[in-house]
Amino acid sequence: MSNVAVADELKGANAGDRPTHRRAEWKLRPLGDIADVSAGSTPNRRVAAYWNGDIPFITTTQIDFNTIEYAEQFISAEGLAHSSAKLLSPGTLLMALYGQGKTRGKVAVLGIPAATNQACAAISFDHTACVPFFFHQLAARYEEIRRYSNTGNQDNLNSSLVRAIPLHFPDRLEQEAIAKALSDVDALIGALDKLVEKKQMLKLATMQQLLTARIRLHGFRAPWRKTNLGDVIVSCSSGSTPKRDHLDYYKGTVRWITSGELNYNVITETKECISEEAVRRTNLKLIQPGTFLMAITGMEAEGTRGACAIVGAEATTNQSCMAIFPTPDLCSQYLFHYYVLNGKPLALRFCQGTKQQSYTARIVKTLPITMPTDIEEQHAIARTLSEMDADIASTERRRDKITAVILVDMETRDRLKSGRGNALLISNSIYNACRLYEMFRRTDLAGKCAIITSYAPTAASIKGEETGEGQTEKLRKYAIYRQMLAEHFDEPEESAASKVEKFEDEVKKRFIEQPGQMKLLIVVDKLLTGFGKRSRSLVIRTSSARPSLMSELLFGMRCAAEWGS
């Protein structure tokens, strides 16, 4: 991904707006050298005349790595005059000095004139400072700032501690360039996340209408019918697994699909390939593109129940996948979308077994299906829904391009690109760690990044979760983790999923002893152990409210490069 391509994504920002890797030295100065710091005050709550006026009054509950555009409380001019509170101008940076839970250390920017209570520090920078730049820098160092707290009965910050916070201080032009890039990136990621969610909900609503004949596409009037799948398919069959002790069987070029790869998708590449001899010895059939596949074993697991896919390139399958071959009366693409919508409730109703819930060929043939009698209407419905899928995928790709902004530093900073140093990205939750990993594994960091969270992707971890359109956080976390483990050990997900402890030991060792082979490790803050003192490793943190991910990375990369120089 070129810098220009990424810049084009930033809502029209051109490549010249992006921060360049300047040679100028970044100064390290205490915040108090470039800003006035003061705390607010609360008017006497027993005096009614001091309250419910027209002056916005901000407390720490509203400071959450944001721009504050409204107030939840108001005071009067009399209340302002009879307290130590001050009326602050828009653009003033606020920091929470104390508060419940994770409030302490959070920052925000005032978007309105307002006064604050005594738990808020007001930071007014001088003319040499770009406020958005320092907002991003303080947000990125949230956890570090929390450790500056005094050691009384309650861990608090105070104005003196805030003034002493050391800040990296480039020249004004570089501040503005970095702040603009960070703000543009954050805004774009947030907007694209919301757009993806909106499009997914629209697609689900469209499926519910088109696949039940509540809404008909223009020009189609033929009746619909409800029948059993056995009446509209020629046959169905499952594959098998070549013997694992024949290592040469797994060194071929024939695609081999397992049920773990059925993720409401079109499969063009597989995690494992087998040899032509394995195909012959195991009596496997080559499944042609366009064939519908459904998972038939392990249906007691929420991550498997209702899973399906379309074969995108000639392949074989294991015994947990059932290939469906329809008559001319049924379109495979229509069947795919129908099963995406209805697969889970059908599995709950029809699967059999005590310890393991499964489908058999006999049961599959009894599954009900509602469909147009006109095959052209089936094709038209399938095209409409497939186009919506393609649109969603396109939006997701645009969002994922943003990782290229981060990779610029990893590709240009001497210590990081040389293999002498690496980076820890510290996330606030396992789910967010998995999302970050999913973004990075599709870049040049593939095979050189990993997650350390002690999470085990077991069936119990996703018990009670829904499958189908729009996976829950638990299901997505489960799927990403299993895929990561399978790729690391180069074996099927089913066996790799039980090796979390071994995986984490190996990854930690590689991170410490071979930094060039493990360049980025994503860790959850509460589980940051086992690394010892690592002067060569950059540490990047995220907070509970996800302050700018880009700011954490860009500031961190710059600092790491300077520490290592």
Record the tokens describing residue 105, joined without a space: 């250390």
CATH class of the domain comprising 27-163: alpha beta
pLDDT single digits (tens) 156-175: 889 999 999 988 777 777 66
What does the pLDDT read at residue 353? Answer: 80
Residue 280 has pLDDT above 60, yes or no: yes
pLDDT single digits (tens) 78-103: 999 999 999 999 999 999 998 666 78
Bridge partner list, 425 = 522, 540
Bridge partner list, 124 = 36
Give dist(CA 313, CA 237) in Å, integer.
Answer: 18
Reported as a pLDDT band with limits 50, 70 and 90, residue 186 is: low
In whole numbers, what is the pLDDT of the chain averaged over residues? 80
Q: Per CATH, which fold does 223-373 belong to?
A: Adenine-n6-DNA-methyltransferase TaqI; Chain A, domain 2 (3.90.220)
Residue 109 has pLDDT above 70, yes or no: yes
Task: Give one DSSP letter per residue of 295-330, joined into a string.
Answer: E-S-TTSTTTTT-EEEE-SSBEE-TTEEEEEE-TTS
Average pLDDT in the 289-304 region?
81
State the DSSP code for 49: G
Residue 264 has pLDDT above 80, yes or no: yes
Helices (H), 42-115: 77-81
3-class DSSP state of 115: strand
State the DSSP code for 87: -
What does the pLDDT read at residue 188? Answer: 61
Residue 31 has pLDDT above 80, yes or no: yes
Reported as a pLDDT band with limits 50, 70 and 90, residue 138 is: confident
Q: What pTM was computed for the model? A: 0.53
What does the pLDDT read at residue 300? Answer: 61
Q: Do the bridges between strand 422-427 and strand 537-541 make them parallel or antiparallel, or are there none, so unpaired?
A: parallel
What does the pLDDT read at residue 406? Answer: 58
What does the pLDDT read at residue 136? Answer: 79
The residue ranking higher by pLDDT, 371 or 486, is: 371
**Euclidean distance between the first and the last CA atom of the chain, given in angstroms as a whole number:** 27
pLDDT single digits (tens) 514-540: 888 888 888 775 444 444 444 344 444
List the domain boundaries for the chain: 1-26+170-221+375-400, 27-163, 223-373, 402-564
Q: Does the domain made of 1-26+170-221+375-400 have the CATH classification 3.40.50?
A: no
Q: Do the bridges between strand 520-524 and strand 422-427 make them parallel or antiparallel, or are there none, so unpaired?
A: parallel
Residue 556 has pLDDT above 80, yes or no: no
Cα distances (angstroms) measured from residue 209 to each of 202, 203, 217, 316: 11, 10, 10, 34
Reported as a pLDDT band with limits 50, 70 and 90, residue 456 is: confident
pLDDT single digits (tens) 474-513: 788 888 898 899 889 988 888 888 999 999 889 888 888 8
Residue 466 has pLDDT above 60, yes or no: no
How much of the chain, in percent, has pLDDT values that exceed 90? 42
What does the pLDDT read at residue 342? Answer: 93
Reported as a pLDDT band with limits 50, 70 and 90, residue 411 is: low
Residue for token pair 């009746």: 223
Residue 416 has pLDDT above 80, yes or no: no
pLDDT single digits (tens) 330-340: 999 999 999 99
Q: Per CATH, which fold does 402-564 belong to?
A: Rossmann fold (3.40.50)
Residue for token pair 């790869």: 261
Judge whether 27-163 and 402-564 match in fold. no
Reported as a pLDDT band with limits 50, 70 and 90, residue 266 is: very high
What does the pLDDT read at residue 271? Answer: 87
Give dist(CA 249, CA 313) in Å, integer.
Answer: 20
What does the pLDDT read at residue 44? Answer: 95
